[in-house]
Amino acid sequence: MKEMYPKNGRVILHVDMNSFYASVEMAYDPELKGKPLAIAGNVEERRGIIVTCSYEARKFGVKTTMPLWEAKKLCPKLIVKSPNFDRYRAASMGMFEILRQYTELVEPVSIDEGYMDITESYEIGSPIEIAGSIQKRILEQLDLPCSIGIAPNKFLAKMASDMKKPMGITILRKRDIPSVLWPLNTNEMHGVGRKTAEKLTTIGIHSIGDLAKGNEIQLKTLLGINGLRIKDRANGIDSRPVDPESVAEFKSIGNSTTLPRDISNQQELFAVLDSLAETVSVRLKRKNVLASTLGITIRFKDRKTITRSKKLSNPIYQKDEISSAAKQLFIKHWNGNPVRLLGITGSDLLDHDDAYKQLDLFSYEKDAKKEPLLNTLSNLRKKYGKHIVETASSQRPIDPDHKVGTETSFNKDFLRSFPEKNKDE
């Protein structure tokens, strides 16, 4: 099988679960299969928003981020269920356990997708055979559909997995880029949101092919370093490795300032925090990352220094979000004495492409207006109230002696582990 693998270069898979939350509900209750199903918060309220929906519901025009009342108008027989994150977390764990039985190089991106580097897995089979085996086992053991992209790097693998849904397997080679990727609009490119696509049109870039051939000076002027990065992606260039430890990697970006005089006025100190937050926000954006933890440094008149940090529910990078979190920490830990120095640090950084925002049930309507929730589901992880969706990599490691081919029905196992009352939730 080794001849099926490149002599130089890598073979990367991107495994993306199809309509994950809805699919898990169908696996739990087979009577839902084949029916239009939507998962939504605030089910009893007209202002609820669709979080995800089945492909049967999509045929009626139901879409993610759509108001519940509108979805029901399009599809009167739409079945609506509230999220059950215990089920989704358990299904995610099962999915990643299966992936790790093929290679140790598995990088979770969110609860329902991850990258695999199978370059050294040639003894198991060809890339297409491995992808087929993974897809079949996830379906048989978890009763869940997935799509898989096969490519020489992460970006192309991600693009490939989006091309055939549900239950697709797509190979995307670098030689395919001009014919397959370049004709697509820029807003169909992973890592390019609606606003960025709109900005690109102002310099005559409408397709991925236009971007691939774009003027680097123009792109950098328009989008900063991100402009050059997405041009590389459009040309199929992506050197990022599949890193199983990336979700736990510790990095930080911060800024501090010694005040021109000792200050004890809260409003003046808040103004300093606003300024620091703006600088940190700019630096986070330049690095294309979000902060999962925010810390502050306070040095008092007597030079006593304290640092305090807080793990955030939602990874952040905007100035207002950073400023708000910093002020909350400051108020909690400031003793009222004059301050000589203030600092803000964002840490536990996540790459913007692979980060996700944990979405609160009580505020996601507002968030959905800012950015398509479908992308949020893929790139930004979510929080609904107290139910936090953990990364699968943070769960217990797979038993190293658990070999490929071991037939277990995780679907039945994890469903039996939940209280009977969940059937009605």
Q: 305-316 and 339-351: which strand pairing?
A: unpaired
Nearest in space to 246 (alpha carbons), one of 113, 112, 355, 379: 355
| Angle between helical axes of 127-142 and 85-100 (0-180°, round to 10) | 150
- Give residue for tokens 């086992």: 137
Ligand-binding annotation for 353, yes or no, is: no
Give the whole-angstrom CA distance, residue 415 versus residue 27: 9
Alpha carbon separation from 241 to 106, 108, 111, 410 (Å, rounded): 10, 13, 20, 30
Contact in structure between 310 and 346 (CB atoms under 8 Å) = no
Contact in structure between 114 and 243 (CB atoms under 8 Å) = no
Ligand-binding annotation for 16, yes or no, is: yes
Cβ-Cβ contacts under 8 Å for 199 (sequence gap 6 or more): 222, 223
Active-site position among 56, 97, 107, 113: 113
Whether residue 3 lies in the annotated active site: no
Contact in structure between 147 and 162 (CB atoms under 8 Å) = yes
Give the whole-angstrom CA distance, residue 148 versus residue 398: 22
Contact in structure between 322 and 281 (CB atoms under 8 Å) = yes
The residues assigned a catalytic role are: 113
Residues annotated as binding site for Mg(2+)?
Answer: 16, 112
